[in-house]
Chain A
Amino acid sequence: MSKPSYVLLGERLAMGVGQLFTTLSKSPPYRWSSGVLRRFGVTGRTTVIAIPWIWLLLFFLIPFVIVLKISFAETRWLGTPPYTPLIEHVNNQYQLRLNTGNYWFLLKESLYFEAFLSSLRVASISTIFCLLLGYPMAYAIARADTSWRNILLMLVILPFWTSFLLRVYAWIGLLGNNGVINRMLISIGIIDEPIIMLQTDFAMYIGIVYSYLPFMILPLYANLEKHDLSLIEAAVDLGCKPWKAFLKITLPLSMPGVIAGSMLVFIPAVGEFVIPRMLGGTDSLMIGRVLWDEFFSNRNWPVASAVAVALLIVLVIPIMVFQRFQAREVGAAR
């Protein structure tokens, strides 16, 4: 029985490492040191937990603490880093200076509030469109013949593997005044003047729905594929109309998939920067874009940090909902 070569190679390597480990673990220095380490609570198990734990602590949790800290600092226009320290050493004592001005600034300037509202609106509408387009697709794939299912699924995943940036860029060529769609419509004779689509909210919605559609389809498919079809058969046998059986059985059963997919689209879409920048108009107010400009154009790091903290507060509930469903989905597979 032949296995693919990479699996063979992997097994060889794994066995080699395992052998090496066994030899090492019998050597006196190892046994002595592992005995000492064990006394301090360091075992193989804790080490395996500790490596990802420490990485995430260092590069995921602590950075947020720093963002929080800098959001309370004052902007220092000249000098690096361009913010003031929170703790100052004056007259032999340490002083903590919390500056809440950045947050007051966010509340006072209507620009930020409107950007938040408009981001939430854009993300919600995009999520609904993803759901309307993605649900029938996921359903059709889940109910397709087994031979077709994997091919269709691969076709959903394939765009995801190709550059997101380039796929968004492709829409510039399609939607422009001189673009493919306008030229086609003019040559057919439906319109005389090109429709202005690029740099409008319409183009932005197209871009977001297009980019995030696979994120909606995949969790929905994973859910719909597991359904027990005999439930529907029983309902239909007992005289239930197919659409009613769908509404009463399939739809409620697929709610975890709907929520997981919606969160996977909604949460990143709220903070989206690339798509509004490339396809949306110059006046499109998205909070991701505001944060970017605040940081890169205005070089106002404390205000950018305050925007990030506010965005995180807005998203904390959706993120927690997502995590609950994510844990349940992966756990349910056991």
Chain B
Amino acid sequence: MNKRSTTLMTALVFGFAFLYVPILSMIVFSFNESRLVTVWGGFSFKWYGQLMNNGPMLDAAVLSLKIAAVTACGATVIGTLAGLVLARFGRFRSRTIFSGMVTAPLVMPEVITGLSLLLLFVAFADLPFVPNERGFSTIAIAHITLTLSYVTVVVQSRLSTMDDSLEEAAMDLGARPAKVFFAITLPIIAPAMISGWLLAFTLSLDDLVIATFTAGPATNTLPMMIFSTVRRGITPEINALATIMVAIVTLFVAIAGISMSRQEKRRQRDVQMAIAANK
């Protein structure tokens, strides 16, 4: 028994070291005075200063944040509807193809999704309501399509762990379906929708391949800027950027994690109290 737990501990330590050493090395070298990325030349904030003066990089970051915000909102709305349909609507005629279309983007290689969406935008460029300039809107549409599956999976699994007796009770008492959704279902799936929103936001912020396909020649998102900078050689500025992003994400995930686990505990306590009260 003891030998086994040592093996498991080793696996955990090794695995986490593998996951975290690259991130830690970026953080450490972002404070490096030396231009050489791997030689320690003393502590300095100069790469952060240089990053703040890098206009094109900042523009790209702002554009990426805007696209990510639009994507996250769109994907949350459509993805939640899809999750609701899959978890609560039972059988309908086109269910198989629908659930296939929802889960396929999870694993579809990005080059295929990117190429196919670009060809769609090119093929229908002449129709009305289709943006003729590729850029913000085409990238956002592509990202919503990519990320709504993640929202669907999160919302669907939240709904399937919760039994639908509350909703049925409300229906029996004469509430209309829309009212049931807003008064009962929505508050219950709100945490799942928030994590879905965050997931869609980060995935959009991070995507290089699909954005490169669907962007016009004048559009540069943050990952596209990073990619072209890295191709010219490594620079400590990118380390500084990475450190800022890691710090923000850690903060957000920590806050979300703590508040969600608190809420879950509260919910479980409420359920237990309700059961106790009914005895």
Contacts and interface: CB of A to CB of B under 8 A. Distances in A.
Interface of A: 1, 3-4, 6-7, 10-11, 14-15, 17-18, 21-22, 25, 44-45, 48-49, 51-53, 55-57, 59-64, 66-67, 70, 81, 133-134, 136-137, 139-141, 143, 150, 152, 154-159, 161-167, 169-174, 176, 178-180, 183, 210, 213-214, 242, 263-264, 267-268, 270-274, 278, 288, 291-292, 295-296, 301, 304-305, 308, 311-312, 315, 318-319, 322-323, 326-327, 330-331, 333-334
Between A4, A56, A296, A334, the greatest number of chain B beta carbons within 10 A of the residue's beta carbon is seen for A56
A56 B101 contact: yes
Contacts of A70: 119
A158 B20 CA distance: 10
B111 A292 contact: yes
A271 B111 contact: yes
Given A210-B22, A274-B209, A323-B103, A162 B245 contact: yes
B145 A291 contact: no
Contacts of A63: 116-117, 119-120
Contacts of B100: 323
B23 A170 contact: yes
A152 B12 CA distance: 9
Given A63-B117, A156-B19, A44 B178 contact: yes
26 contacts: A3-B266, A4-B259, A4-B262, A6-B259, A7-B187, A11-B187, A14-B186, A21-B182, A44-B177, A49-B89, A63-B117, A66-B116, A134-B15, A150-B257, A155-B19, A155-B20, A163-B226, A173-B29, A173-B234, A180-B25, A210-B18, A273-B110, A274-B208, A331-B160, A333-B157, A334-B160
Contacts of A308: 111-112, 115-116
A162 B27 CA distance: 13
Interface in B16-51: 16, 18-23, 25-26, 29, 36-39
B171 interface: no
B236 to A, nearest CB: 10
Contacts of B218: none
Enumerate the 5 nearest inter-chain pairs by beta-carbon distance, A residue then B residue, closest first.
A271-B109, A136-B11, A63-B116, A18-B182, A170-B22
A257 B204 CA distance: 27
Given A163-B245, A178-B36, A319 B234 contact: no
Contact of A267 (B14, B109, B152, B266): B109
Nearest to B97: A61
Contacts, number: 283
A59 B111 contact: no
A284 to B, nearest CB: 15
A288 B18 contact: no
**B interface majority secondary structure:** helix
Nearest to A214: B19
Contact of B116 (A55, A67, A210, A214): A67
A46 B179 CA distance: 17
A174 B183 CA distance: 52
Contact of B12 (A14, A141, A315): A141
Contacts of B29: 173
A171 B148 CA distance: 30
Contacts of B160: 330-331, 333-334
B145 A179 contact: no
B86 to A, nearest CB: 8
A25 B76 CA distance: 25
Interface in B97-150: 98-112, 115-117, 119-120, 122-123, 141-142, 144-145, 148
A25 B156 contact: no
Contacts of A10: 186-187, 190
A179 B38 contact: yes
Contacts of A18: 178-179, 182-183
Interface of B: 1, 4, 7-9, 11-12, 14-16, 18-23, 25-26, 29, 36-39, 78-79, 81-82, 84-85, 89, 92, 94, 98-112, 115-117, 119-120, 122-123, 141-142, 144-145, 148, 152-153, 156-157, 160-161, 176-179, 182-183, 186-187, 190-191, 194, 198, 202, 205-206, 208-209, 212-213, 223, 226-227, 230, 234, 238-239, 241-242, 245-246, 249-250, 252-253, 257, 259, 261-263, 266, 270
Given A137-B12, A141-B12, A183-B38, A55 B183 contact: no
Given A162-B246, A170-B23, 9 more contacts: A6-B194, A44-B177, A59-B141, A60-B101, A67-B115, A67-B119, A210-B22, A311-B111, A326-B106
Contacts of A296: 212
A160 to B, nearest CB: 8
A173 B261 contact: no
A327 to B, nearest CB: 6
B187 A55 contact: no
Contacts of A140: 8-9, 11-12
A154 B123 CA distance: 43
B205 A271 contact: no
Given A271-B110, A327-B99, A301 B104 contact: no
A274 B111 CA distance: 10
Contact of B19 (A21, A213, A304): A213
A160 B116 CA distance: 26
A237 B20 CA distance: 40
Contacts of A305: 115, 119
